[in-house]
Amino acid sequence: MEMALDLELIFRVLVFPGFTFILFFTLFCDWVERKVEARMQNRVGPAVAGPAGILQPLADFVKLLTKEDIVPRDAKKLVFKFAPIISFSFMVFALCFLPIDGASAIPGAGFAGDLVFIMALVTVANFLLFLSGWASANPYSAIGSARVLTQFLGYDIPLFLLALTPAFLAKSLSIAAIAANQYLPFILLAPWAFVLFIITLQAELEKDPFDIPHAESEVVGGLETEYCGGKLAFLHLTRDVQIVFGAALVVELFLGGPYGPVFFGLPVFWYSLWFIIKLLAVVVITEYVTCLFARLRIDQVLTANWKILLPLSVLSLTLTVAMATWIYPLMV
Amino acid sequence: MTSISTRLANKVTWARLKSPWVLHFNSGACNGCDIEIVALLTPRYDVERFGIKLEPSPRHADVLLTTGVVTTQCAERLKRIYDQMPQPKFVVAIGACACSGGVFKGNYTVTGGVDKVIPVNAYIPGCPPKPEAIIDGIVKLLNSLKEAKPDDSK
Amino acid sequence: MGNGVQIQSTHLGKASIQIPAGSNRNVVKVLLETDKNAGISAITGLDLGEKIGLMYHVRTNGVIVTISTELPKDNPQIPSITDLIPGANFHEREVADLFGVIFQGHPNPGRLVLPEDWPENLYPLRKDAKIDELTTRPATSSFSKGAVQSEAESKLVNIFVGPQHPALLEPEKFSVKVDGEIVKAVEPRIGYVHRGVEKASEQRTYLQDVYLVERICGICNSCHASCFVETVEKILGTEVPPRGKYLRTIILELNRLHSHLLLLGHAGLEIGYETLFQYMWRDREPIMDLTELLTGNRVIASSLTVGGVRRDLKETDVPKIKTQLVILRKRMDFYQNLFNSEPSLRMRTRNVGTLSKEDALKLCVVGPVARASGVNMDVRKDEPYEAYGEIPFKLITRSEGDTYARLMVRLDEVTESINIIEYALDHLPEGPYRVKVPRVVVAGEAVSRVEAPRGELFYYVKSNGTAYPERVKVRTPTFANIPAFLKTAIGGSIADVPANFVSLDPCFSCTDR
């Protein structure tokens, strides 16, 4: 049987809005984050590599790829070598399901329930990060990766409950459907869920005030301590792609996805532009919040999750259901 | 017409020059040099402009900034940290004590300057050197790498 | 008080008492009866040729009383006073390390400042230990295995922090024994920065020693210089001219400003508050500029010398200093607001590492750590030196004794320092700023104290009539404060250890010398 080379599929998956776009966009978001952090701290940030330092993350990436590769003698070799890159692949794969230019990278890949599916993919990716720290045979990595797992698994639950709010409002568990059915962006219909989602996202992405897995003063390099060279590059990339993924999720669930006014020409171009603008806005907001706060202790982080965020997310869902069933039909 | 491999090598050198990650280790210093190094990250000097990041783990760093004389207790630790760093790596000895032992030369727990333990690529004298001097030293080190062959890793 | 006790008045504090070796515990008991808050400021060892001299410098009612005794060199044993005054623990260990004195009944004897592989029976500070012999001893490996060990019998996990650790600017090692997340014990291993300053100072002239002791610690360098030159001036009987005293005061207060701002920013870094760190250090840079304006150097001022200061202050520079101080004062209002209202900062520092007032007095802590636990102790008020007797300022104390209180005490002291500098600038007397002193110092001994940013700094200098000192003893504030950290860390969470640690403002180059 002959299989025709589907050039469009290959282009979409490998170049735009697939792998290459995600890679370079992640590096660009890294630059945006560093600049926001620097300006908040009254500094300049990267400025020499390329115009305004925009090539800095690329320089970091290339430099790391060309460093000597060291594998500790006591490390679990297979897991140590491959967990970072598999984790990165899972994240990129999850991103391929989000409609970026009006359709997802793999056309027709969306299905009812893919919201649950991609969140499961991200959970597996984080578990692989934990494994890479565990396989390092370094006590600081062990502590750091244990903290990653504790924090991520804990905050996954309120995150999912909060993600159900837009699902309920759109009456579908498919991301493409949620993004497309936002006659009004859900941030306006359920602002409480948006605020809580951003806070929970800070914890998922391990940013201040939930920065513990990367607390240099306590766990040195955390799970990355023993990694160097190319594997470290992919660990950093995984973290950055996770930030992009989290922001993309916010855009799809609350900000109306890539849809926005189309002024002239191809809708694909405008959808991509709106998506990028909204995503950058979310990235800037999360980075801004990061700069404002100190780091909480692990027990304070866990208290915040189980005693505050979890009940609040249940309440948020209840409130949304109530509003949607009785109030909103009167308004539309 | 430069070959592809030379052009690639040039790009790699470019990346290495634009992104020197540093590890700071105090092997017996009075803190004077250390606070000037930490001051480099603060708004007035802001070396993040050059892509310099302070890394927590020896495995992540390209450049080892050492300050202070090497006391006998620190000598082995310094060597161990140097060995943990992946190639290509560079060592910068900051301050008079790191260069040669400073005012403490000859004391009973002082091994001497840093080059008695590990090879040093750049010496920045001063007691302590002003942050401008430290930046100047690091920039001179990076420029000297530009002249070296791209695969010349020490 | 028993027989054999002689009381003299010398430069060794308010009073100096000579006692026989066996009665040291009785004397300390009597002292504690008269003043139950008496604490050990330092314990000095001396090589007197045939005998080893031991001096207990006791701090009582704000002044120093020196109790001296002598021990035979071939068998220097003396009962320990650690059970009476727990703060004497580290002091006795140090004398044991460097002189070979055996303190009977000491709870945890062991190496303190010398390297782990230092040979037995080799005591560097004794006169018969020549430096050339000391530097040529064979090196052995001094590594301990692994960074985490589980002690199966006690079910505690032992986590080693240091010597290279991003939280620590300096090398030192702490082994923290935890049960889950709760800290059960902390053992420090210091001595990584021991450069043998006290021995080296005997090989250099007094003037060269000023440059040497300045480099014990780059952060509080002027305080070390000022304490040393004050002690030498006491021996010589020199009176520094008033202008010199005021200029010294200004330099010392600038030193305090930059040190406190440094510490507050570093505290921000430890609790993950990078923005605070960047802002604080940005506001600290003008202080470095002012120090450079006044002394010619940003960090190590090298401006104090025996007899006065080396450089004068130009009239045209006074307005420059005042402008910067006004700007800094406004920034301090911003930080006061921040520390009072920022929730994540307060969550990390309130009720963390609490040190009660009784513990603070028993462990003989000094400086802001003591003042944050309600102890009214400040050398500038107790025994004014330089121009502090003429300058009015407030003593900042708090009663909670937790990390937050320790940071707030320093924050308030910044404002007080600004007040002191402005007053000194307004009342700067005319006249000479230094006097000439002889190169050869008459025989004698003296002690001196200075309030460094971290606490009371103590110097003892003995001269033998030549151009080289016979003995220089340095007791730095962090040396006295480390036992407090060991106590406050126990029972807390391991996640609190960095914040707790940084609040005591540790400086290990001071501790190890």
Q: What is the pLDDT of residues A241-275, one digit of tens each?
A: 989 988 988 888 888 777 777 777 777 788 888 88
Q: What is the pLDDT at residue A94?
A: 85
Q: Does A226 touch chain B (CB under 8 A)?
A: yes
Q: Best-predicted range by mean pLDDT among A63-67, C110-114, C152-156? A: A63-67
A283-328 pLDDT tens trace: 998 888 888 887 887 778 888 888 888 888 888 888 888 887 877 6
Cα–Cα dist C448/C240, whole Å: 15
Q: C282 in contact with B at a CB cutoff of 8 Å?
A: yes
**Taking CB atoms and an 8 Å limit, are B19 and A60 in contact across chains?**
yes
Lowest-confidence segment of B77-86, C136-145, C279-288 by average pLDDT: C136-145
| Residue A68 touches chain B, beta carbons under 8 Å | yes
Q: Torsions phi, psi of C165, nearest 5?
A: -155, 135
Report whether B29 contacts B68 (CB < 8 A): yes
Give the per-residue pLDDT at A3.
59
Question: Which residue of C147, C165, C274 is in closest CB contact with A139?
Answer: C147
pLDDT for C228:
92
Assigned domain for B98 exists? yes
- The 10s digit of each residue's pLDDT in A322-331 is 887 877 676 6
Domains plus CATH for chain C? 6-127 (3.30.460.80), 198-475 (1.10.645.10)
**pLDDT for res C254:** 92
Residue B9 resides in a domain:
no
pLDDT tens column, A73-129: 887 888 888 888 899 889 888 888 888 776 676 766 667 778 888 888 888 888 888
Mutation target among A218, A219, A224, A288 for the C interface, most CBs of C within 10 A: A218
How many whole angstroms separate alpha carbon C338 and alpha carbon C259? 19
Q: How confident is the model at residue A28 (pLDDT cuts 50, 70, 90)?
A: very high
In the predicted structure, residue C324 carries a pLDDT above the cut 70 = yes
Q: What integer pLDDT is reported at residue A269 of this predicted model?
A: 80
d(CA C416, CA C419): 5
Interatomic CA distance for residues B130 and B36, integer angstroms: 7
Is B6 inside any structural domain? no
Alpha helices, H only, B19-154: 32-39, 72-84, 96-100, 131-147
Q: Specify the pLDDT at position A105.
A: 66
Closest CA to B67 of B97, B41, B90: B97
pLDDT tens, position by position, C371-389: 998 888 888 888 888 888 8
Give the 3-state secondary structure of residue A301. Answer: helix
pLDDT means per 10 residues in chain B (154 residues)?
A: 78 85 86 88 88 86 89 84 88 90 83 87 90 89 72 43
Strand, helix or coil for residue C301: coil
Q: Exposure pattern of A117-139 as b/e (b: 16+ CB <10 Å)?
A: ebbebbbebbbbbbbbbbbbebb
Residue C344 bridge partners (DSSP): none
Structure tokens given for B42: 């603060």
Q: Are C167 and A217 in contact (CB under 8 A)?
A: yes
Using a CB-CB cut-off of 8 Å, the residues of chain B touching A46 are 48-49, 51
Q: Test B60 with A221 for CB contact under 8 angstroms.
A: yes
Q: Would residue B8 count as lying in a domain?
A: no
For C501, the closest chain A residue by CA position comes to: A217
Nearest-CB residue to C279 (from A42, A298, A300)? A42
User: Which residues 167-196 of C have a C-beta within 8 angstroms of B?
Assistant: 169-171, 191-196
Task: Please compute Rg for chain A using Cα positions.
Answer: 20
Phi, psi angle pair for A294, to nearest 5° = -85, 180
Stretch among A238-247, B120-129, C169-178, C292-301 having the lowest mean pLDDT: C169-178
CB neighbour list of residue A258: distance below 8 Å, 6 or more residues apart: A99, A100, A101, A102, A179, A251, A271, A272, A274, A275
- Least confident window among A154-163, C80-89, C110-119: C110-119
Q: Which domain holds residue A274?
A: 72-331
Return the pLDDT at C420: 92
pLDDT at C147 over 50: no
CA A246 to chain centre: 3
Residue-level pLDDT at B1: 57
Q: Do A41 and B55 touch (CB under 8 A)?
A: no
Compute the residue count for chain B: 154
pLDDT given at position C499:
82
Q: DSSP string covering C223-288, please?
A: HHHHHHHHHHHHHHT----HHHHHHHHHHHHHHHHHHHHHHHHHHHHHTT-HHHHHHHHHHHHHHH
Distance CA(A9)–CA(A186), nearest Å, equals 31
Task: Note whether residue A261 is domain-resident.
Answer: yes
- Calculate how close chain A gets to B68, using CA atoms only, in Å: 22
Whether C53 contacts chain B with CB within 8 A: no
pLDDT value for C154:
55
Task: Look at C135 and B107 and tell me if their CB atoms are within 8 Å.
Answer: yes
- What pLDDT is attached to residue C163? 62
Quote the number of domains for chain A. 1
Residue C267 has pLDDT above 80, yes or no: yes
Q: Which residues contact C200 (CB under 8 A, 6 or more apart)?
A: B104, B106, B107, C131, C212
Whole-angstrom distance, CA of residue B22 vs CA of residue B138: 10
Query: Is there a domain that residue B46 lies in?
Result: yes
Interface touch C164/B73, C-beta < 8 Å = no
Say whether pLDDT at C431 is over 70: yes
Give the pLDDT confidence score for residue C131 in this predicted structure: 64
pLDDT at C447 over 80: yes
Which residue from A minimizes the CA distance to C269?
A217
B123 versus A6: the higher-pLDDT residue is B123
Would you call C274 and A216 a contact, using CB atoms and an 8 Å cutoff? no
Residue recorded with tokens 């307060």? C346
pLDDT band at C145 (very low <50, low <70, confident <90, very high): very low
pLDDT number for residue C77:
83
- pLDDT exceeds cutoff 70 at C135: no
Separation of alpha carbons C431 and C309, rounded Å: 13
C214-234 tens-digit pLDDT: 989 888 889 999 999 999 998
| Structural domains counted in chain B | 1
Q: pLDDT at residue C146 above 70?
A: no
**Average pLDDT of chain A to the nearest whole number:** 82
pLDDT (0 to 100) of residue B111: 83
Interface touch A298/C279, C-beta < 8 Å: no
Which pLDDT score is estimated for C251? 92
In this prediction the pTM is 0.88
DSSP letter (8 states) at residue B86? P
- Chain C residues closer than 8 Å to A211 by CB: 272
Question: Which amino acid appears at position A98 of this protein?
Answer: L
Q: Could you say which residues from 126 to 165 on chain C have a Cβ atom under 8 Å away from some Cβ of chain B? A: 131, 134-135, 139, 141-143, 163-164
Structure tokens at C244: 């010199």
Q: Residue B99 belongs to a domain with what CATH number?
A: 3.40.50.12280
Residue C15, pLDDT above cutoff 50: yes
User: What's the domain range around B92?
Assistant: 16-145
Q: How close are the terminal C-alpha atoms of chain C, in Å? A: 36
Place of tokens 């006249």: C431
pLDDT, tens digit (0-9, with 9 covering 90-100), for A125-182? 888 888 888 888 777 788 788 888 888 878 888 888 888 888 888 787 888 788 877 7
Residue-averaged pLDDT of chain C: 83
Q: Is the pLDDT of residue C51 over 60?
A: yes
pLDDT of the residue at C150: 45
Of B49, B59, B87, the CB nearest to A227: B59
Specify the pLDDT at position B91. Answer: 92
How large is the average pLDDT for residues C99-120? 80
Buried b (16+ CB within 10 A) or exposed e, C422-439: bbbbeebeeeebbeebee
Distance between A1 CA and the closest CA of chain B, angstroms: 40
A70-102 residues labelled b (16+ CB within 10 A) or e (exposed): bbbeebbeebbbebbbbbbbbbbbbbbbbbbbb
Which chains are adjacent to chain A, needing at least 3 Cβ pairs under 8 Å? B, C
* Mutation site, C177, C270, C349, interface A, largest A CB count within 10 A: C270
Q: Which subunits sit against B, judged by 3+ Cβ pairs under 8 A?
A: A, C
Contacts of A291 in chain C (CB under 8 A): 274-275
| Distance in angstroms (rounded) separating the CA atoms of residues C394 and A149 | 50
* pLDDT 10s digits, C60-72: 877 888 888 888 8
Tokens at A17, concatenated: 């809005």
DSSP A204-217: HTT-TTS-GGG-HH
Q: Which run of H or E residues covers position C308?
A: strand C308-309
Among C159, C497, C498, beta carbon nearest to A139 = C159
Interface test with C, best of B108, B116, B118, B132 (most C CBs within 10 A): B108
